[in-house]
Amino acid sequence: MPWFNVDDGFANSKPVMRIPRRYRTTAIGLWTLTGSWSAKELTDGHIPAEVVEEFGGTPKIVDLLVDSGLWERVEDGVQFSNWAKWQKTKQQVVDFRAAEAERKRKQRERISRPSKQGEREMSRNGHETVPTSVPVGHQRESALPTPEPLPTPSPSPNPVVTYGGEVTSADAGVNTPPPEFCPQHPEGTDAPCRACGGARQRRQAWEAEHGSAVEASAAAAKAERKRVLADCPDCDEYGWTTDETGQTTPDSVKCTHGAAVVSHA
């Protein structure tokens, strides 16, 4: 939703000071209400007579606003003077909304588009890989032996990704890391302790076994959050709520995206 702008020097500007003091607050109140209405309805400062009346405008107050130079009379109501100088026009708002919608669309495409491999790349073990674009039957045979496939670490079972970026598991008991210290020294100790040494070894073994799965789950959580931000029509790419024009405001808060949890179990 567009804003109706009021300059910080407006209060004692010449047009305002031309209005007699006894009518000034009433007149500027009417001017502000109708300006806000026009910004919302995208009328570019045109205020129909019935809207002026609805907001309590009287012929006397209208005359004062016209005489001060803040309004101009038109056939079916009044018109704000110099609207385009201080406010966004309807065309500007429409163009911004279209550009913002296109930006969101492209962002969603970037997130959902699968990565493309290069024409030729070297694998981690130094062996040459065949370009994916070469037709079957035309690949050049390599004189190097085919490497053994690397073992794939087992992922954590049933990962659950929350909007906060946390990764938990339905089998939390299975994936809970063992303590680093023995039960007698839960906070650790500087004294020699064989039980603490055994606990550290078990913890290191667990981290070696589950480290890749935890990193994969964290990466999945990050990708999921990016997707949610791109799909959400109520916030920007950083998760702050926006108005109807896609702009953040002083009242913006962290968006909940209309849901609590996304499960990948």
Summarize pLDDT for 5-41 with one digit per residue, the tens. 999 999 999 999 999 999 999 999 999 999 999 999 9
Most confident of 65-69, 123-127, 190-194, 204-208: 65-69
Residue 234: inside a domain: yes
| Greatest pairwise CA separation for the chain in angstroms | 97
CB-CB contact of 170 with 158 (8 Å): yes
From 86, 116, 137, the end of a domain falls on 86
> Which pLDDT belongs to residue 71?
97
Predicted confidence at residue 205, as pLDDT, reads 85
Count how many domains the chain has.
Answer: 2
The model carries a pTM of 0.43
Residue 255 confidence (pLDDT): 81
- Same domain, residue pair 164 and 254: yes
Residue written as token pair 């896609």: 246
Task: Tell me what pLDDT residue 19 has.
Answer: 96
Sheet architecture: strand order including 167-169: 167-169, 159-162, 261-263
Identify the domain boundary among 86, 109, 125.
86
8 close to 21: Cβ distance less than 8 angstroms: no
Tell me if 191 is assigned to some domain: yes
Residue 219: which domain range? 159-263
212 Cβ contact list (under 8 Å, min separation 6) = 153
Residue 259 — very low, low, confident or very high, per pLDDT cuts 50/70/90?
low
Whether 110 is covered by a domain: the verdict is no
Give me 224's structure tokens. 């999921």
